Chain A
Amino acid sequence: MTAVLEIRDLSKTYRTLRRGRRQALAGFDMTVAAGEVHGFLGPNGSGKTTTLRTLLGLIRPDGGEMRLLGQPVPERLAEVAGRVGAIVESPQFFPHFSARDTLSLLADAGDVPRTRVGEVLELVGLRDRAKDRIRTYSLGMKQRVAVASALLKRPELLILDEPANGLDPGGIREMRDLMRSLAADGMTVLLSSHILGEIQQICDSVTIISLGRRVAAGPVEEVLRAHSAASVRVRLEAADDLPRAAAALTEAGGQVTSLPDHLLVAAERPAWITRTLADRGLYVSELAPITVDLESVFLELTGTAPVAGQARQVDESVVVGGHA
């Protein structure tokens, strides 16, 4: 596995006169392998944007090491910047220029042929609105311009911070398809997003950050498996047999939760459940593994699941090993 992005022990503390010290990154680690679509998740204020901005030379880190495409950054960022396309946070462009002007000025500044401008405008679906001023664009259209600007230099690594922000459902699907096709062409994509369903669908691996530290990382399936209390839903032909079944499974060493019309059996193989019940003359009508999704893992790991009657504050997340 060749890593195109490596971050080790990255730290950053903001110091302001008004708010004092605020630690945004506290020894954060991340690795993104070449050719994968990597999801970068974290609650608001967890340090995602600080990480991306630090990686791209916009913010000076207090400590740690970073490498982009094998080169140490920020020391040799200028050498690899031409191979990295990025958008950070919400798209911001000079409102009185058209998308075409904006992109052609960037192309000129980066020695990219202007013919590429038309190609990326076509790619993000802005061909027919390219000559309109950006101030007339919706948030989703500005987002498309941002993605177009990142794609302009045919990057090897594409870093996108909330690319689906403001997009309509069709736009989100287009963006997903675009990511997939870029990844299929060999581009590595680092995708920061809050749309966890999207991340789960298109990402090969993820890193989850909370309060400036990595709380989970790895292939999506592994993260789901490692952080889910896997259980199996069991129904019987006769609901009256459920107490007997619960007793039998408990007696055989299983952890059982009884519910009115089914049982939940924790962390056991379905075959063991079937055999245990059949040995006692109980026959299963439904045996379904309860799957967890990325959203529930994310909420669990970051401690940001909503609680009825409570208004969670932005920085109320968890750190590794305990609650903040």
Chain B
Amino acid sequence: MQGTSEYQPRTGIERWIDSRMPLPRLMYDSFIAYPIPRNLNYSYAFGAILSLVLVVQILTGVVLAMHYAANSAIAFNSVEQIMRDVNYGWLLRYMHANGSSMFFIAVYIHMFRGLYYGSYKAPREIQWILGVILFLLMMATAFMGYVLPWGQMSFWGATVITNLFSAIPLVGEGITHWLWGGFAVGNPTLNRFFSLHYLLPFMIVGVVILHVWAFHVTGQTNPTGVEPKSRSDVVPFTPHATMKDAVAMVAFALFFAWFLFYLPNYLGHPDNYTLANPLVTPPHIVPEWYFLPFYAILRAIPSKLGGVIAMFASIIVLFFLPWLDRSKVQSAAYRPLYRIFFWIFVVNVICLGYFGAKPPEGWYVLATQLLTAYYFVHFLIIFPLLGYIEKPRPRPTSITEAVLSKHKSGGGGTPAEAAASPERRG
């Protein structure tokens, strides 16, 4: 997809810059002339949405940091000061807090889209791995950000999660104390979490640049999974993708606004409006909603070390996805079996999240264990196996063919064509 550049400097100053540092050329080739498959649906817009949310998070975060005090004696009150006395402080703080949830909603859809259309397959393995790294960075950032208001859930969430490291044999306790900067979660922990919470988003920006760079080399996937072959398969990024992404971003902003203005505390936990108290354990410690599936996996294994290993393995396994999937066919649109298992997996993860929020008692324990087992079965057994037993549907020879055949057959096509229709899930 790279190669010849179509950038033509028109004015003298553009030529002058281009011959010294071709940044305008890079921007032109990346966001204007860059060819994208013409059949992308709206599920491909979540990359743009994520960039938007990242910018919102950084901007609101930088301003919040001007008013926030990272000291365990006054952190809670400083957040309330922002809510009450800083001009539009409530807006900044609710935007930042709900923004993190929006970030995860978008990233989960983005990842499931990647799973559905096989975006992790050759030659996009590095692209996918960078994405998993981004996901890990996001989780670390969000976790540390949740600690900053220094409420009960901040404190006890931090205690539970940092305690996980104590499960490591021999050095575990030492590592945990080193992380805390003391013998329990306290002011030193809060200080370093704030420092890292400010640092990590900029690392995310760096990896995002690599992530975007990588797909500008390999080109985007598309719902057919057939690589673009001719000029007629692609359209220029601007105005086509720009406008489509803009629609998606505004629609997502609407969704965001609904929570921000009308449900600002819906995605949080009431206990976090109680000042952290090391002497009072909340009756039921739960992490933020977006960690619940992993929290469920952690609790499913009846041993501390086992649970920690399972939880980390559930994310590490994603790194190996490009090689676990043995199928030659990229898109689930032409993989009748995989498509079914994909949706089972989606339901599985949602159920894990649901049980992650429940107290570990009664039949919930067994249900969580079964769901956890299935999570790994999906990646370690079903994924490789499907490559051998699945009979893929016939694929179109080109994107253009797929698009035109869909339009020829109109609304009610044959089942195969209807299934091949990339817009179906738009």
Q: Is B truly associated with A? A: no
